[in-house]
Amino acid sequence: MLLPQEIIRHKRDGLVLSQDEIQAFIDGLVSGSFTDAQVGAMAMSIYQQGMTVDETVAFTNAMKNSGDVLSWPELDGPIVDKHSTGGVGDKVSFMLSAIVAACGGYVPMISGRGLGHTGGTVDKLESIAGFNVQPNLQEFKALVAEHGLAIISQTSNLAPADKRLYGVRDITATVDSIALITASILSKKLSAGLDALVMDIKVGNGAMMTDIKQANALAQSIVNVATGAGVKTEAIITDMNQVLGNSAGNALEIKETVDYLTGVYCEPRLHQITVSLASAMLQHAGLAGNESQAVAKIEQVLSSGKAAEKFADMIAAMGGPGDLLENPWASMQKAKVVQDIIVKQDGYINGMQTRDIGMAVVALGGGRLAGDQQVDHSVGFDAIVPLGTQVKAGDVIARVHAKDSDSAKRATNSYLGAITLEEDLSELAPVIYHSVTAEK
């Protein structure tokens, strides 16, 4: 029998853990034979010593196999997914899943709730009256088979070892370990039985990774480990130095999604990132031979309305309304107070403290300060003017949606405090930095 303290000592001393040692630790996480103190010590040892690619592959696979692992022998197309490291205004999952499903892929997307300043995909879907984010796994598989996509919340049966480990990491200052982040993300994603995965690694002042060196390290770790686990994977590093799209807030982002899919409004940065990720998904899934073929397919399913139809069918099949595209606000709550945010001076919008804007949404009630907190899906910001825009005193640069005038005023002040206006235009960060593939 492998003793917990011996496994911890090996990693503490910088040794490479064997598969048996890793499996014993993961088994101990699930059974409880590793105490919280021992789990914390192990997490700190990994944080300080790191892990090799082979160790991280074994660690990821062991966590993946600690619960249910889906398989899809009944489907006639590739199983493909995308994961984002999170940001403010990131509603790409909705467009992306609908586009890829409309092109012949199957997208079983298991998503999370809001965390800190970042919005949660599941919270956004719960803006829609009746939408059920927690079907059982049999229902989930049936939805994917029939519609080509389904987006659900994480279940207790998928990678349960990760759930316990993450809870301990959260209180032991070991969250930001590249190896542990990699294993946490991939154990959940790979349990969905994927053929291909595309990662959206956000970098900037609204992202978990605030500089390009960190983002590259995480991207390389994820693609190396996922590829080592047998899933074709690419990471694309994208900008999060401003809100993505023109809205931040749960129902407001669903409305922007509907506008995007139906051709009412397409914010350029959001479109560029969506097309880049969708193109990579189609190519890795074998649904397009090259980038130009992929982009042509994407544009076709958007212009024909086929992607919008896929999204609408999923919403209706999962308990939402049948007319979301035609009348989105019939099934979503509107905020009681909507006010313009007006600048008081001329200049170029050269800076946006994106994390602060995300926290302003949380302060409005659109996110959680505690795990059991109720979310106000109606609040947030929209009509957001992007970086690089020249404005004059009195111009509207966004709108706040709030439950009352006091919180609207506080949010307005927070938003204005997060914006930098300057006389001359500054150089903007690229929307997409580069892609990362597995090291040979």
| Catalytic choice (184, 221, 233, 274) | 184
Residue 304 is a catalytic residue:
no
- Same domain for 102 and 248: yes
Active-site residue, 344 included: no
Catalytic site includes residue 184:
yes
Q: Give CA–CA dist 258/343, Å, rounded.
A: 29
Shared domain check, 342 and 316: no
Residue 439, pLDDT > 90, answer no
Are 391 and 254 part of one and the same domain? no
Which of 284, 308, 327 is where one domain is finished? 327
Q: Tell me the residue range of the domain where 32 lies.
A: 4-50
Number of domains in the chain: 3
Pair (314, 371) in one structural domain: no
397 in Cβ contact with 391 (< 8 Å): yes
Whether 224 and 156 map to the same domain: the answer is yes
Same domain, yes or no: 186 and 213 = yes
Domain-embedded: residue 312: yes
The yes-or-no verdict on residue 368 having pLDDT over 80 is: no
- Is pLDDT of 162 > 80? yes
| CATH label of the domain that carries residue 267 | 3.40.1030.10
Whole-number Å distance between alpha carbons of 399 and 340? 4
Residue 115 confidence (pLDDT): 64
* Active-site entry in 64, 117, 124, 188: 188
Residues 40 and 151 in one domain: no
Question: Do residues 38 and 182 both lie within one domain?
Answer: no
Is 83 known to be catalytic?
yes
**Residue 35 a catalytic site member:** no
pLDDT band at residue 140 using 50, 70 and 90 as cut-offs = very high
Q: Is 169 a catalytic residue?
A: yes
What mean pLDDT comes out for the span 62-91?
94
pTM of the shown model:
0.93
| 403: annotated active-site residue | no
pLDDT (0 to 100) of residue 344: 94
Which candidate in 45, 56, 60, 84 is catalytic? 84
Residue tagged active-site, from 82, 164, 232, 401: 82
Active-site residue identified among 81, 123, 195, 376: 81
pLDDT, one tens digit per residue, over 238-275 is 999 999 999 999 999 999 999 999 999 999 999 999 99
Please tell me which residue in 117, 164, 169, 255 is annotated as part of the active site.
Answer: 169
Binned at pLDDT 50, 70 and 90, residue 114 comes out as: low
Strand 107-111 with 149-153, pairing: parallel
Q: Are residues 370 and 296 in the same domain?
A: no
Window from 116-125, 190-199, 430-439 with minimum mean pLDDT: 116-125
Choose the catalytic residue: 121, 174, 227, 276.
Answer: 121
What are the pLDDT digits (tens) for 279-324? 999 999 999 999 999 999 999 999 999 999 999 999 999 999 999 9
The Cα-based distances of 161 to 22, 29, 112, 180, 357 in angstroms read 12, 6, 16, 12, 33
> Is the pLDDT confidence value at 371 over 70?
no
Shared domain for 219 and 265, answered yes or no, is yes
Task: Mark which of 327, 355, 370 sits at the end of a domain.
Answer: 327
